[in-house]
Structure 1
Amino acid sequence: MSTRPDHPRTNLNNLLQAVYGPAAPDHVQWDVSSKGPPNCPTWSATIYVDDMKYGYAQARTRGAAQDSAAQQACDHLRRERLT
């Protein structure tokens, strides 16, 4: 996992830390699974914040699915904070 400041999971963590402080991990749940053959799985990642779905994605790798779902969650959180 990259630790670049523009990495979706890092950005999501930073946003959640700004909202919830050190309790941020208590407000987040990931549901990650794969299906298909072992040599070519499709990974699904769903992220929930306070039991509400904030992002869902499918990709060929676990990390890519989580990154895409995290980006959706970041976009959703940013929109919420602007309204």
Structure 2
Amino acid sequence: MGYQVSGSGFSWRVTDAAGVQHGQYYRNNADAFEFAKRLEQADKVHTRSCLCCTVDFKSEGAHNRMCSKCRQLSGGMM
């Protein structure tokens, strides 16, 4: 889902594609853009099964296929 930042001066907001506002009004565009970025990241989080131990974990994307425990045990080699 794409998020848009709009506003001017000391009043900025974040809306989704349907025009629904998310969060509060922000006093500057940098804070609004940071919030939009966090929303985009949250949309990417999915539950996946670890390739090593098959336990379900929250993955941040297709590149993240091992749970943190297995990643630690592998020493970051995978």
TM-score class normalised by the smaller sequence: 0.3 to 0.5
Q: TM-score, normalised by structure 1?
A: 0.38
Q: Which has the larger radius of gyration?
A: 2
Higher strand share: 2
TM-score by length of 2: 0.39
Higher helix share: 1
